[in-house]
Amino acid sequence: MNHTRFGILKNFLDEVGAISRFTGQFFTEVFKPGQEFRELLRQAFIIGYKSLPLTGVTAFIMGLVLTIQSRPTLEEFGAASWLPAMVAVSIIREIGPVITALICAGKIGSSIGAELGSMKVTEQIDAMEVSGTNPFKYLVVTRILATTLMVPVLVILSDTIGIFGSYVGVNMKGVTSLHLFYSHVFNKLSFSDVIPATIKTFFFGFAIGLIGCYKGYNSNNGTQGVGESANSAVVVSSLLVFILDLLAVQVADLFGLT
Q: Could you report the per-residue pLDDT of 133-191, keeping only the tens digit for each?
A: 888 998 999 999 999 999 999 999 999 999 999 999 988 877 788 888 889 888 888 88
How much is the average pLDDT of 118-122?
A: 87
Residue 132 pLDDT class (50, 70, 90 cuts):
confident
Annotate the chain with three-state secondary structure: CHHHHHHHHHHHHHHHHHHHHHHHHHHHHHCCCCCCHHHHHHHHHHHHHHHHHHHHHHHHHHHHHHHHHHHHHHHHCCCHHHHHHHHHHHHHHHHHHHHHHHHHHHHHHHHHHHHHHHHHHCCHHHHHHHCCCCHHHHHHHHHHHHHHHHHHHHHHHHHHHHHHHHHHHHHHHCCCCHHHHHHHHHHHCCHHHHHHHHHHHHHHHHHHHHHHHHHHHCCCCHHHHHHHHHHHHHHHHHHHHHHHHHHHHHHHHHCCCC
Question: What's the pLDDT at 122?
Answer: 86
Question: What's the pLDDT at 158?
Answer: 95
CA angle 31, 32, 34 (to 5 degrees): 120
Residue type, 228: E
In the predicted model, is pLDDT for residue 22 greater than 70? yes
In the predicted model, is pLDDT for residue 27 greater than 90? yes
Question: What's the pLDDT at 3?
Answer: 59
Q: Are 59 and 96 in contact (CB under 8 A)?
A: yes
How much is the mean pLDDT over the chain?
89
Residues in the chain: 258
Q: Could you report the per-residue pLDDT of 197-209, keeping only the tens digit for each?
A: 999 999 999 999 9
Weakest-pLDDT range from 54-63, 76-85, 99-108: 76-85
